[in-house]
Structure 1
Amino acid sequence: MCGRYSLTKSKTALENRFASEMLEDFVPRYNIAPSQVVPVITGDSPQGFSHFYWGVTPAFSKNKPVANKLINARSETIAEKLSFKSSFRKNRCLVPADGFYEWKKIGKKTKVPYRFVLHGEELFAFAGIWEQFETENGDTAHTFLILTTTPNSLTAEVHDRMPVILPPDLEAKWLDPHTPENVLLDMLRPYPEKEMMTYTVSPMVNQVANDNPYVIRKTLPMDQFGNYTLFG
């Protein structure tokens, strides 16, 4: 599962990394959560960033409500599941990020937040799919989901799923409408653990309102109550 992520780089860095133009203003994000509007790149318009809702159909959608918890799609069933297969074939997107969060369970009540990044905390892209909805006012709104897969050895120490991170050389193929389905499915594998690192962060990340540089700082392992723990 991927329930929070970060995108802390500047607008210029994003445009340079993904060779796409961002017309809207962009403020670095440290604690992106479901239902928020964030930048993505679609196969329909790869030259520019779009801004979609993550995982939740807006309340003003008149034709297709989606559960609040529907923020990810399992890569193992993406091509067969009725609710996803059309978007997988026609509406794929890149979800720019520079880190994601998972929580390690320690006992029954304790959870410790971890941040996962690439070495150098470089920008990368999750594999995503998107949908389009009509609002009650007749406007168009868009939502996206992040695909997940089995964890590599690094993330497996914290969680039993991880988001699909696409290697840079496969990003264009993911967006290309002509890429065969079997090639797409082969992309949905765990990212190499040797190219990643992780560290514990403050339980401040648990609160969506805490969207500031403090939440990505390395801290001693603390549980969700802010108590220090011996478990890292």
Structure 2
Amino acid sequence: MCGRYSLAKSKTELENRFAAEMLEPFAPRYNIAPAQLVPVITGESPKGFSHFYWGITPAFSKNKPVASKLINARSETITEKISFKTSFKKNRCLVPADGFYEWKKIGKKTKVPYRFVLHGEGLFAFAGIWEEYETENGDIAHTFLILTTAPNQLASEIHDRMPVILPPGQEATWLDPQTPENVLLEMLQPYPDKEMMTYTVSPMVNQVANDNPYVIRKTLPMDQFGNYTLFG
């Protein structure tokens, strides 16, 4: 599962990394949460950033608000789920990020947040799919979700799932509408753990309102109450 991520880079850095133009204003994001409007790159418009809501509203619940719980899709069953099959075939996207968060359970009540990044803490892209739906006001909105896979060794110490991170050389293939399904499925693998690192962050990240540079800083392990722990 991936329930929070960061995009703590400038508009210029995003445009340079993904060779795409961003027409709307953008400020670095440190604590992105479901139902928020964030940048993505679609196969329909690979040279520009679109802004979609994180959390897909299934077709059978048309005119409902963005689904805050339906934010990820298991890559192993992506072609079996009716609600995801069409999007996987036709509506794929890149979800730019520079880190994501997971929480490690320590005992019954304690959870310690960790941030996962690539070495160098540069930008990367999650594999995503998107949908279009009509709001209650008759407007057209766009939403996306992030595909997940089995964890690599690094992530497995914290959680039993991790988001699919695409190597840069596969990003254009992911967006290409002509890419065969079998090739797409082969891409949905755990990212090499040797190319990643993780560290504990402040439990301030637990609160969506805390979207500031402090939440991505390395801290001593603390539980959700702010008490220091012996676990890292």
Superposition TM-score, scaled by structure 1 size: 0.96
> Is the 1:64–1:133 contact (alpha carbons within 8 Å) kept by the matching residues of 2?
no
Residue 228 (structure 2) aligns with: 228
Q: 1:68: how far off?
A: 2.4
Superposed CA deviations along residues 185-213 of structure 1, whole A, max 9, x for unmatched, are: 00000000000000000000000000000
Could you say what the CA RMSD is over the residues aligned between the two structures, in angstroms?
1.2
Cα gap change, 1:64 to 1:136, in 2 (>3 Å): closer
Cα gap change, 1:25 to 1:67, in 2 (>3 Å): closer
CA distance in 1, matches of 2:127, 2:94: 5
Q: 1:136: how far off?
A: 2.8
Structure 2 spans left out of the alignment, 5+ residues? none
CA distance in 2, matches of 1:164, 1:218: 24
Task: Kindly indicate whether residue 58 of structure 2 is the aligned counterpart of residue 34 of structure 1.
Answer: no
Aligned-partner SS, 2:87: helix
> Is the 1:153–1:193 contact (alpha carbons within 8 Å) kept by the matching residues of 2?
yes
Task: Kindly indicate whether residue 68 of structure 2 is the aligned counterpart of residue 68 of structure 1.
Answer: yes
Residue 125 (structure 1) aligns with: 125
Q: 1:65: how far off?
A: 5.3
> Is the 1:34–1:56 contact (alpha carbons within 8 Å) kept by the matching residues of 2?
no
Aligned letter for 2:229?
Answer: T
Aligned letter for 1:149?
Answer: T
Q: Matched residues, percent identical?
A: 86
Cα gap change, 1:103 to 1:124, in 2 (>3 Å): same
CA distance in 1, matches of 2:62, 2:195: 43
Residue 81 (structure 1) aligns with: 81
CA distance in 2, matches of 1:80, 1:64: 23
Aligned-partner SS, 2:83: coil
Residue 176 (structure 1) aligns with: 176
Aligned letter for 1:83?
Answer: S
Q: Which runs of 4+ in 1 moved over 6 A?
A: none
CA distance in 1, matches of 2:27, 2:53: 16
Residue 213 (structure 1) aligns with: 213
CA distance in 2, matches of 1:192, 1:202: 26
Residue 93 (structure 2) aligns with: 93
CA distance in 2, matches of 1:159, 1:110: 14
Aligned-partner SS, 1:83: helix
Q: 1:135: how far off?
A: 2.0
Superposition TM-score, scaled by structure 2 size: 0.96
Residue 15 (structure 1) aligns with: 15
Aligned-partner SS, 1:120: coil
Cα gap change, 1:56 to 1:85, in 2 (>3 Å): closer
Residue 105 (structure 1) aligns with: 105
Q: 1:139: how far off?
A: 1.9
CA distance in 1, matches of 2:185, 2:64: 27
